[in-house]
A and B are shown apart, each in its own frame.
Chain A
Amino acid sequence: MNAALSQTLIAAEEVSKEFLIPQGMWRRLTGQPRLAVHALNGVSFQINRGETLGIVGESGCGKSTLARCLVRLFDCDDGRVRFEGQDIADLKGADRRAFNRRVQMIFQDPYSSLNPRMRVREILGEALSVHKMRPRAQIPARIAELLDLVRLPSDAADKFPHEFSGGQRQRIGIARALAVEPDVLVADELVSALDVSVQAQVVNLLLQLQEKLHLTVVFVAHDLRLVRHISHRVAVMYLGKIVEIGPTEGLFSSPRHPYTKALLDAAPELDPTKRNRTVAARGELPSPINLPTGCLFNTRCPRAFDRCFVERPLLSDRTPAHRAACHLTDFGAPSLQNLEAIS
């Protein structure tokens, strides 16, 4: 195994995904073009072994679609996702099952992500036996171990999902994912359905498990504070594109994309003495069916100029670690704040 391969575990290369809108008979007969929601519009990034990559954005930014492309619940229309260098769309049979084992997803809704008619013992046992993780005789012991790992009492095994609170159900979801000893966890809004005090418990658990089991984590969420707390690196998405990606602290302390800055300003701070009465970003998300030409953020950007309406900015590789897709910062200004200071 060469060094590059061991460093980058997952690579997304220009991933695009669109969903066709169901069309009436009349539109079809009259030959009108099919409308599509452009969920992902050329997303590229890498995930390194052992790191946590946060993917953050508002609803409709494509973050959940991206998560589903990473575990191949969706096949991408364009571009590819590579796992250890291999295009996952090419995986078949045993290779595909091995991939499905090694890259696990945890779902958002604790109420619908567990089969309501299966006991916890059956849910975990099924994962263990389908992937032949343990000989049959050792499965009960392994189930007890897994429950202990996610801090659930051992009598949880004989209960049904509806007998648990939301936070406990998310623990069951984590236990199921960990049952197959994966390398990667893709967590889609893991705690957003939970109460604040319970969120903290699950976040703490995730951090501990990651250290203990050397997991690579993709943490998809809309909550900036959470993403900032958990991630080594963060990617900010808007309308199906990554607009900024970089190391967490750099990105949060000196954002290079006006959308990132707007998101940061809009997220209320936990300090009542630092209030700000100016609105962070005016307007609303444009339709993902008819994308704006040029920069996707140009309809809401306070600093948009001529070029932004004509040319779509690319993720600049001027500074490889921290990159933003913005014409303003592309020409060498180190960050938006500096730019503001100059003007």
Chain B
Amino acid sequence: MIPALEVRNLTTGFKTANGWVTAVKDVGFDVMPGEVVGLVGESGSGKSVTLHSILRLVHAPGIIEGSVKWQGRDLLTMSERELRKVRGGEIAMIFQEPMTALNPVLPVGIQIEENLSAHTALDGRQRAARARELMDLVGIPEAARRLKDYPHQFSGGMRQRVMIAIALASGPKLLLADEPTTALDVTIQDQILKLILDLRDELQMGVVLVTHDLGVVAATCDRMAVMYAGRIVETGTVVNVFAEPHHAYTRGLLGSVPRGGAGRTMLLSIEGTPPGLASIPPGCSFNPRCTFATDICRKETPMLAEFAPGRLVACHHHREVAAAGSPVA
């Protein structure tokens, strides 16, 4: 199968008061049609910047390098005009906090129709009908009546559904989801994640899901990429990565999440805190927190390399890490 999205050597930098910092460094991954790819990491890992960089949604003076091939065309070099057709059209995006992503002074029906008129050839009446269908599709009760409501009249979960309805208006082939359920309660998160999966099946769209929650990854993603300090440190199918993590950070993350059955025991925590973008240590950026680290880790940055089909890791000692076993297996 040909990947729908091919990200290669994506590097994003920002200018700050203290000079340039690199938020994302040499990131590469593919998304197949209809596949859900999870980008996992903690705050400052660059997962969200990666997602925004795909659609060049990085505020100046940020710079993006590398290539993002969408169905053969490079999103990073195409003109603003062409890109506008892709954004919100073939590729749609949803955010963590729908209240700030929706326009507070427009009824949601108008906001859905706005996207329809930008990306489809439907006339006014067809747009109104389609807007209602979309509200139904994302599971908003009494869709016809609620089209006239404003965003603040919806609950957090319903707002997220509205945002998904707007994103789906153009019939996208790829959905970029930036922590879509982080602000939601667990029963509502469950509803939204399952909605995204149902829509993926129905519409055959690829999904890139950015999250910090490994449980969300386990429940929804086909493949995953773990990010740390701006780089991808490990990728593979979710089943495979959970069963046999090859990077010490992945292993530590898995061990940090409490599981049932081992109550009141010490968790396998990672000492220290994730580094700030301006103070990334030399060599492997994880080395100060890594229990497997040796001299080479402090000097040489490990490259992301394939060690088994579809499994990549950036670690000098990945065999030892794998031998130590998965904390969740």
Interface residues of A (CB under 8 A from B): 52, 58-59, 165, 167-168, 195-201, 203-204, 207-208, 222, 224-226, 228-232, 248-249, 252, 262-263, 265-273, 275, 277-282, 284-285
Interface residues of B (CB under 8 A from A): 42-43, 155, 157-158, 185-191, 193-194, 197, 212-221, 238-239, 242, 252-260, 262-271, 273-274, 328
B190 touches A204 (CB 8 A): no
Instruction: Tell me the complex Cα distance, A168–B271, Å.
Output: 12
Residue numbers in A under 8 Å from B220 (CB-CB) = 268
Decide yes or no: A195 and B42 within 8 Å by CB, A272-B242, A273-B239, A284-B155 being known contacts. Answer: yes
Residue numbers in B under 8 Å from A59 (CB-CB) = 185
Decide yes or no: A167 and B273 within 8 Å by CB, A200-B255, A270-B218, A270-B257 being known contacts. Answer: yes
B214 touches A267 (CB 8 A): no
Q: How far is the CB of A208 from chain B (nearest CB, A)?
A: 8
B258 touches A271 (CB 8 A): no
A200 touches B215 (CB 8 A): no
Of all A-B residue pairs in the complex, the 7 with the closest CB atoms, nearest first, are A229-B258, A268-B215, A200-B269, A266-B190, A200-B256, A268-B219, A58-B185
Residue in B closest to A207 when the chains form the complex, CB atoms: B264
Residue numbers in A under 8 Å from B258 (CB-CB) = 200, 203, 225-226, 228-230
Q: How far is the CB of B252 from chain A (nearest CB, A)?
A: 6
Residue in B closest to A280 when the chains form the complex, CB atoms: B190
From A59, A222, A231, name the one whose CB has the most chain B CB atoms within 10 angstroms: A59
Instruction: Tell me the complex Cα distance, A282–B191, Å.
Output: 7
B260 touches A228 (CB 8 A): yes
Decide yes or no: A271 and B242 within 8 Å by CB, A195-B42, A200-B268, A284-B155 being known contacts. Answer: yes
Decide yes or no: A277 and B269 within 8 Å by CB, A197-B253, A268-B219, A270-B218 being known contacts. Answer: no
B267 touches A229 (CB 8 A): yes
A201 touches B269 (CB 8 A): yes
Residue numbers in B under 8 Å from A199 (CB-CB) = 256
B257 touches A58 (CB 8 A): no
Residue numbers in B under 8 Å from A267 (CB-CB) = 186, 190, 215
B190 touches A265 (CB 8 A): yes
B42 touches A272 (CB 8 A): no
Decide yes or no: A196 and B194 within 8 Å by CB, A225-B258, A270-B328 being known contacts. Answer: no
Q: How far is the CB of B297 from chain A (nearest CB, A)?
A: 18
Instruction: Tell me the complex Cα distance, A284–B187, Å.
Output: 8
Residue numbers in A under 8 Å from B197 (CB-CB) = 277
B188 touches A284 (CB 8 A): yes
The one of A165, A273, A281 in contact with B273, judged by C-beta atoms closer than 8 angstroms, is A165
A sample of 12 cross-chain residue pairs with beta-carbon separation below 8 angstroms, ordered by A number, consists of A168-B273, A195-B42, A195-B43, A196-B212, A200-B267, A203-B267, A204-B266, A222-B185, A229-B259, A230-B258, A263-B186, A270-B328
Decide yes or no: A266 and B274 within 8 Å by CB, A196-B42, A252-B260 being known contacts. Answer: no
A270 touches B256 (CB 8 A): no
A204 touches B269 (CB 8 A): yes
A270 touches B42 (CB 8 A): no
Instruction: Tell me the complex Cα distance, A204–B267, Å.
Output: 6
Residue in A closest to B256 when the chains form the complex, CB atoms: A200
Decide yes or no: A270 and B263 within 8 Å by CB, A197-B253, A279-B191 being known contacts. Answer: no
Instruction: Tell me the complex Cα distance, A201–B42, Å.
Output: 15
Q: How far is the CB of B36 from chain A (nearest CB, A)?
A: 11
B256 touches A197 (CB 8 A): yes
Instruction: Tell me the complex Cα distance, A271–B219, Å.
Output: 8
Instruction: Tell me the complex Cα distance, A199–B42, Å.
Output: 11
Decide yes or no: A224 and B264 within 8 Å by CB, A197-B252, A269-B215 being known contacts. Answer: no
Instruction: Tell me the complex Cα distance, A230–B242, Å.
Output: 23
B216 touches A268 (CB 8 A): yes
Residue in B closest to A259 when the chains form the complex, CB atoms: B187
B238 touches A272 (CB 8 A): yes
B186 touches A269 (CB 8 A): no
Decide yes or no: A200 and B264 within 8 Å by CB, A268-B213, A268-B215 being known contacts. Answer: no
Instruction: Tell me the complex Cα distance, A183–B255, Å.
Output: 31
B190 touches A279 (CB 8 A): yes
B273 touches A196 (CB 8 A): no
A284 touches B257 (CB 8 A): no
Residue in B closest to A196 when the chains form the complex, CB atoms: B256
Q: How far is the CB of A312 from chain B (nearest CB, A)?
A: 21
A197 touches B274 (CB 8 A): yes
Residue in B closest to A227 when the chains form the complex, CB atoms: B258
Residue numbers in B under 8 Å from A249 (CB-CB) = 263
Q: How far is the CB of A261 from chain B (nearest CB, A)?
A: 11
Q: How far is the CB of A249 from chain B (nearest CB, A)?
A: 7
Residue in A closest to B259 when the chains form the complex, CB atoms: A270
Instruction: Tell me the complex Cα distance, A174–B192, Å.
Output: 35
Residue numbers in B under 8 Å from A196 (CB-CB) = 42, 212-214, 253, 256-257
From A270, A280, A281, name the one whose CB has the most chain B CB atoms within 10 angstroms: A270
Residue numbers in A under 8 Å from B273 (CB-CB) = 165, 167-168, 195, 198
Residue numbers in A under 8 Å from B157 (CB-CB) = 284
B42 touches A197 (CB 8 A): yes
Q: How far is the CB of A233 from chain B (nearest CB, A)?
A: 11
Instruction: Tell me the complex Cα distance, A206–B268, Å.
Output: 14
The one of B212, B260, B264 in contact with A195, judged by C-beta atoms closer than 8 angstroms, is B212
Decide yes or no: A270 and B242 within 8 Å by CB, A195-B42, A197-B269 being known contacts. Answer: yes
From A208, A222, A231, A267, name the one whose CB has the most chain B CB atoms within 10 angstroms: A267
B257 touches A248 (CB 8 A): no
Decide yes or no: A269 and B218 within 8 Å by CB, A277-B194, A282-B191 being known contacts. Answer: yes
Residue numbers in B under 8 Å from A275 (CB-CB) = 219
Instruction: Tell me the complex Cα distance, A204–B215, Å.
Output: 20
The one of B187, B252, B328 in contact with A281, judged by C-beta atoms closer than 8 angstroms, is B187
Residue numbers in A under 8 Å from B271 (CB-CB) = 201
Residue numbers in B under 8 Å from A262 (CB-CB) = 187
Instruction: Tell me the complex Cα distance, A265–B67, Å.
Output: 41
Instruction: Tell me the complex Cα distance, A266–B194, Å.
Output: 10
